[in-house]
Chain A
Amino acid sequence: MSRFRPTFFIPLIAFLGLVMIGGLALQGTLSGSRNPNQLPSVLIGKPAPDVPLPLLQNNQAELALDAYRGQPLLVNFFASWCAPCRAEAPALEHLSKQISIIGIAYKDRPQDTRKFLQQYGNPFVAIGRDDDGRAGMAWGVYGVPETYLIAPSGQIKWRHAGPLTRDVITTQLLAKLAEMQ
Chain B
Amino acid sequence: MGLTEFGHFALISAFVLSLIQSLVPLVGTVRHNMQLMLVGPAAAISAAVACVIAFGALVTSFIRSDFSVALVANHSHSAKPLIYKISGTWGNHEGSLLLWILILVIYGAVLALSGRTMPTLLKARILAVQGMISSGFLAFSLFTSNPFTRLANAPIDGKGLNPILQDPGLAIHPPMLYLGYVGLSIAFAFAVAGLIGGDVDRLWAKWMRPWIMAAWCALTLGIALGSWWAYYELGWGGWWFWDPVENASLMPWLAATALLHSAIVVEKRGQLKSWTVLLAILAFSLSLVGTFIVRSGLLTSVHSFASDPARGVFILGILLVAVGIPLLLYAWRGPQLMRVADFNLKSREGALIANNMLLVVATAIVLLGTFYPLGLEMITGARITVGPPYFDATFNPVMGILVVIMVIGPVMAWRRGTTPRTKTTLLAASVSAIIAGIIGGAMVQDIAIGAVGAIMLIAWLAMGIAADIWIQLKPLQRGGLAARWHRLPTEVLGMWIAHFGIVVFLLGATGDGLFRSEQVVRIKPGEVVTIAGRDVTLVRVFERQGPNFQALTAELEYKDAASGKFIARLMPEKRVYTAERQTTTEAAIRPRLGGDDYAVLGDGDDRIGYSLRLYYKPLISWIWGGGALMAAGGLVAMIGRRRRSAVTAPLPDNVARDTA
Name A residues whose Cβ lies closer than 8 Å to a Cβ of B: 1, 3-5, 8-9, 11-12, 15-16, 18-19, 21-26, 28-30, 34, 36-37, 39-40
Contact = CB atoms under 8 A, between A and B. Distances in A.
Nearest to B332: A8
Given A12-B331, A29-B298, A21 B371 contact: yes
B164 interface: no
B278 A22 contact: no
Interface in B261-299: 274, 278, 281-282, 285, 289, 292, 296-299
B338 interface: yes
B377 A25 contact: yes
A126 B231 CA distance: 48
Q: Which 5 A-B pairs have the closest CB atoms?
A: A12-B327, A3-B335, A9-B331, A29-B309, A5-B335
15 contacts: A8-B331, A12-B327, A15-B285, A19-B316, A19-B324, A21-B371, A21-B375, A22-B374, A25-B378, A26-B313, A26-B316, A29-B297, A29-B312, A30-B309, A36-B298
The listed residue with most B CB atoms (<10 A of its CB), out of A5, A9, A12, A24, is: A12
Contact of A36 (B300, B367, B371): B300
Nearest to B282: A11
Given A11-B282, A29-B298, A37-B300, A21 B327 contact: no
Contacts of A22: 292, 296, 298, 312, 316, 319, 374
Given A19-B316, A22-B296, A29-B309, 12 more contacts: A3-B335, A5-B334, A11-B281, A12-B324, A12-B327, A18-B371, A22-B319, A26-B313, A29-B312, A30-B309, A37-B300, A39-B383
B330 A36 contact: no
Contacts of B324: 12, 15-16, 19
Contact of A40 (B316, B378, B381): B381
Size class of the contact patch on chain B: 35 or more
B330 A21 contact: no
Contacts of A16: 324
Contact of A3 (B285, B298, B338): B338
Contacts of B309: 26, 29-30
Interface of B: 274, 278, 281-282, 285, 289, 292, 296-300, 309-310, 312-313, 316, 319-320, 323-324, 327-328, 330-331, 334-336, 338, 367, 371, 374-375, 377-378, 381, 383
Given A3-B336, A26-B296, A26-B313, A18 B289 contact: yes
For the complex, would chain A's binding face be called helix, strand, loop or mixed by DSSP majority?
helix
A36 B297 contact: yes
Contacts of B381: 40
B298 A25 contact: yes
Contact of A8 (B282, B297, B330, B371): B330
Nearest to B381: A40
Contacts of B335: 3-5, 8
The listed residue with most B CB atoms (<10 A of its CB), out of A11, A29, A39, is: A11
A15 B323 contact: yes
The listed residue with most A CB atoms (<10 A of its CB), out of B297, B312, B331, is: B331
A12 B328 contact: yes
B374 A25 contact: yes
A36 B331 CA distance: 35
Contacts of A34: 377
A21 B299 CA distance: 12
Nearest to A17: B375
Nearest to B274: A8
B659 to A, nearest CB: 14
A32 B383 CA distance: 16
A3 B375 CA distance: 35
B197 to A, nearest CB: 14
Nearest to A24: B378
A37 B367 CA distance: 22
B331 A26 contact: no
A28 B312 contact: no
Contacts of A23: 316
A11 B312 contact: no
Nearest to B312: A26
A30 B307 CA distance: 12
A1 B299 CA distance: 45
Nearest to A4: B335
Contacts of B374: 21-22, 25
Nearest to A31: B309
Contacts of A39: 383
A24 B376 CA distance: 12
A23 B313 CA distance: 7
Contacts of A19: 316, 319-320, 324
A16 B331 CA distance: 13
A18 B248 CA distance: 14
Contacts of B331: 8-9, 11-12
B334 A8 contact: yes
A1 B338 CA distance: 12
Contacts of A12: 324, 327-328, 330-331
A22 B315 CA distance: 11
A23 B316 CA distance: 7
